[in-house]
A and B are shown apart, each in its own frame.
Chain A
Amino acid sequence: MEILSLSLNHRVTSLGVREAVVFTPEDGKHFLNQLRERVLASESLLISTCNRTEIYIVRAAGANPELGPPLLDLLKETRGFAATEHPRNYEITRDEEAVRHLFRVAGGLDSQILGESQILGQVKNALAWARSAGTDGRVLHRLWERALRVGKRVRSETALGEGALSASYASLELARKIFGSLKEKHVLVVGTGEIGVLALENLQGYPVASLTIMNRTASRAQALAERFKGKVRDLAELPKALIDADLVISSTSSPVPLIRYEQMRKVRQQRGGQRPLLIVDLAVPRDFEERCGSLDGVFLKNLDDLSEIVKKNIEERFQELPRAEAIIEAEMTTFFRWLRALDVEPTILKLRELFHAVRENELAALRNALDEESFGRLDRLSRRLINRLLHQLSKNLRRHTALQDSELVSVVHELLTEEIPHPNEVEGGGETNDCSSEDAAPAPPARSPGT
C-alpha cells in the first residue's frame, strides 16, 4: 500500500499556476472520480484553497505501481497544468513524507501565515468532498482523522496560532489584555478612512456595550454606523465622547492633534475613578498628543507600539514550532502503527478461515453420532474455544505488526498458505503427515543379543 501526495502550494507554486489549479466543489468531485477510474486510486482526497491544491491518493493493490505520471497527466488534461513546463512548481511525496506534509498543512505549519487556523476547516471540507464523490476509504479516513487531531492539538497545546499578526488585530489584542472582555466596554472609532473601516470590521467579532463613530464627513459616518450597528457623534464632541469611552481607535487625516494634553487631563478628571482608557492612535500624523499617554489610567498606543506587538507575536510563533513538530511526529507514529496493523488483516482472516474449517470438519464427522442437544452444545463450545484462541492470536499478531515485527507475520502467513514439504518427502522418504511425528520417529536401536 502506498500513500502519495501531490502538492501545489504557495512555497513552490507561482500564483498564476495556483489560480489555474483551484477546484470548485463540483470540479473537485469530478476530478476525484476520474482519479479512481484512470489512475486506479483506491482512495483519494483533494484540498483546494487559494494557497494550495493538494491531492492525496492511496494506491490500490494491483494498481499502476507508478502513480505520479498518470496523476500529472490527468491534472494537465483537466486543469491545463503541464508538469514538464513547471518542474519546480509542485511537490510529490510518498508515505511518511506525504503524511508528515498533510499533518504540517493541518497544523498550520505550512501556511503562508504561520499557525493560521482557516486551513483546518479546509482540510475538514476535503473529507466531505471525497465522501460525496465516494473516493474516501478506510486509510484516508483514518489519515484525515489524525490530521484534524493534529490541527486541534497544535492549536490547543501550543501558542502557534496565538497573537495578532496585523496592527489592527494587535490593537484588539491589547484591548483584551487590559479589559479582558469588551462586552461591557464603550468603543469609539474616530475617522472612517481605510484603517477606520478595517478596525470596524475587526470589531465585528467582539460584542461591545456600544459603538460610536465620529468623522468629519457626517454622511460617511452615518453609512458606517448603519452597517456596523453603531451611533454617530459629531467630531467636535470628541472630548465629551472620551469621558464615556473605554477603547478609542483613531485614524483621521488631521494634520494637527485632535486632542492635546490639557484637554486629555480634563477628560481624565471627568472620567473619575480608575477606569482605564485605551487609545489606539493609528493616524500619521498622530491624533493624540504624545504626552496624553503619561496620564494615569490612559494607555496611548501608536502604530510603532502595535508593530512591536506583532513582531513579538511572530517570534513567539516561531518558538512554538518544535512543540508543534513533536505533536506531528507523535501522531505519525500512531497513524503508522495503525497502518502497519492493516497488513496483518489478510493473515488473520486466513487463520480464522482455517480454524473454522477444521472445526466444521470435525463437527461434521460427529453429526450422526450425537443427538441434537449434545451436538448443539459441542457446536457452541467449539465455536467459543476457537474464537477465544483466535482472539489472543489476532491480538498478538496485530501487536507484533505494530511493533514492526513483520518477520513473525510473514512466518505465520507462510504457515497458513504454503504447503511445506516434510523432510522425508524431500529426501524421497515414505509418506507421512503432521500428526504422525511419533510414528515417524526413528525406531530405537535393536538390543544386541548379549545384553
Chain B
Amino acid sequence: MDTVSNTAVVILTVLYTLLVIAYARIFTRSHGGLAEIARPLLVGTVSLQLASILLRSFMAGACPLNNRAEFLSLVAFSIAVTYLIVELSIDERSTGVFAVTPAFVLQAIATVDVLGRPADSGGRKLGLLDSFHTFAAIVGFSAVALGSVYGILYLVLYTSIKRGRFGLFYRKMPSLETLSELNFIVTCVAFLAITVTAGLGLWRYLRAGEGAVSLFHAEVLLTFLLWLLYGGCVLAKLFFGFGGKRLAYTTVLGLLVMMGILLKVFFTPGFHF
C-alpha cells in the first residue's frame, strides 16, 4: 500500500514539474515540445492524482488526509482541478504557470515529507462526512488562493497599462477582461465549495447536538464572512456587472480571510483539533 502510494507521489511530482515547464513555455511563447501537450499533461496529472486519491480512500475507508503530505497533495490536486476548469471554460493558457507552480511546490513538499517519514506514521482517520467536509474545504480554499492570484495579476496589469509600462508582463498577459473573467469562474468554484463545506459542517453540528460546538467560534464566523464575500461577488456580477478591479480587490481580501481561518484552525485550539 505504502509502496504504491509513494510511487504515485513521486510520479505526480515529476508530472507537476513537467507541467510547470510546459506552462512556463506557453507563457514565454516558446512553442513545441511540452508546450504542445500542456493540456493533455494537465488532464493526465489530475486523472492520476484522482485515481490515487480514490484508491487510497477505498483502501483506507476514508478521505486520505491522515498526514501533512496527504493534505498538501490534496491541496495541489484541488488547485490543478480548479485551474483545469478555468482553462477549459475560457481556453486561455497563458496564466497556467501561475496556477501549476504553487501546485508543484505543494506536491514537492508532500513528496519530501512522504519519503522522509516512517511508513507507519499516521494521523487522524476521518469519517465519510468529515472527509467530504475537508475535501470541499480544500477545493474552496484552493479556489480562493487561485482567485487571489488572478486578482493580483489583474491589478498588476491594470497598473502597468495605467502607468505606461509596456514591458514583458504587458506583452505576455491576457487582456484585463480575460483576467477578470478567469477570476469570476474561480470565484464561482470557491463559492460552491465553501457552501458545501459550510453546509456539511452545519449538518455535522446539528447531528452532534446543540452545545457541542459554538456557532460563534472565530473560524465559523470567518468562514461565514468568506461565504458572504464570495456569494456577494457572484450575485453582484450576475445582477450589477460587478467585476474588474473591485473583484480583484475582493479576491485578495478573500485570501486574507482564508489565511485567518487556516491560522485559526491549525495554530489555535478549537473544535477542529
Contact = CB atoms under 8 A, between A and B. Distances in A.
Interface of A: 156-159, 163, 174, 176-180, 273-276, 293, 296-297, 299, 301, 305, 308-309, 312, 316, 323
Given A176-B175, A177-B176, A323-B30, 17 more contacts: A156-B31, A163-B171, A177-B157, A177-B161, A177-B175, A178-B175, A179-B175, A179-B176, A180-B177, A273-B242, A274-B242, A274-B243, A274-B245, A274-B246, A297-B245, A312-B170, A312-B171
B175 A273 contact: no
A90 B127 CA distance: 82
Given A177-B161, A178-B161, A276 B171 contact: no
Nearest to B31: A157
Contacts of A157: 31-32
A273 B177 contact: no
A299 B165 CA distance: 13
Nearest to B170: A177
Contacts of B243: 274
Contacts of A312: 166-167, 170-171
Contacts of A163: 171
A178 B174 CA distance: 9
Interface of B: 29-32, 157, 161-162, 164, 166-167, 170-171, 173-178, 240-246
Contacts of A180: 174-178
Contacts of B29: 158-159
A8 B157 CA distance: 45
Contacts of B166: 305, 308-309, 312
A263 B171 CA distance: 32
A180 B240 CA distance: 21
Contacts of B242: 273-274
A297 to B, nearest CB: 7
A299 B268 CA distance: 46
Contacts of A177: 157, 161, 170, 173, 175-176
A275 B241 contact: yes
Nearest to A163: B171
Nearest to A274: B244
A305 B175 CA distance: 18
A301 B170 CA distance: 15
Contacts of A158: 29, 31
Closest 6 interchain pairs by CB? A157-B31, A180-B175, A274-B244, A180-B177, A309-B166, A305-B164
Contacts of B32: 157
Contacts of B245: 274, 296-297
Contacts of A308: 164, 166
B205 to A, nearest CB: 38
B244 to A, nearest CB: 4
B67 to A, nearest CB: 44
Contacts of A156: 31
Nearest to A300: B162
Given A157-B32, A273-B241, A274-B243, A301 B171 contact: no
24 contacts: A156-B31, A158-B29, A177-B170, A177-B173, A179-B177, A180-B174, A180-B177, A273-B241, A273-B242, A274-B242, A274-B243, A274-B244, A274-B245, A274-B246, A275-B244, A276-B176, A293-B162, A296-B245, A297-B244, A297-B245, A299-B162, A301-B164, A312-B166, A312-B171
B145 to A, nearest CB: 23
A174 to B, nearest CB: 7
Nearest to A156: B31
Nearest to B167: A312
A276 B245 CA distance: 10
- Which of B157, B177, B243 neighbours the largest number of chain A CB atoms within 10 Å of its CB? B177
A299 B177 CA distance: 14
Contact of A299 (B31, B161, B174, B246): B161
Contacts of B246: 274
Contacts of A301: 164
A284 B244 CA distance: 32
A8 B242 CA distance: 58
A176 B170 CA distance: 12
A109 to B, nearest CB: 17
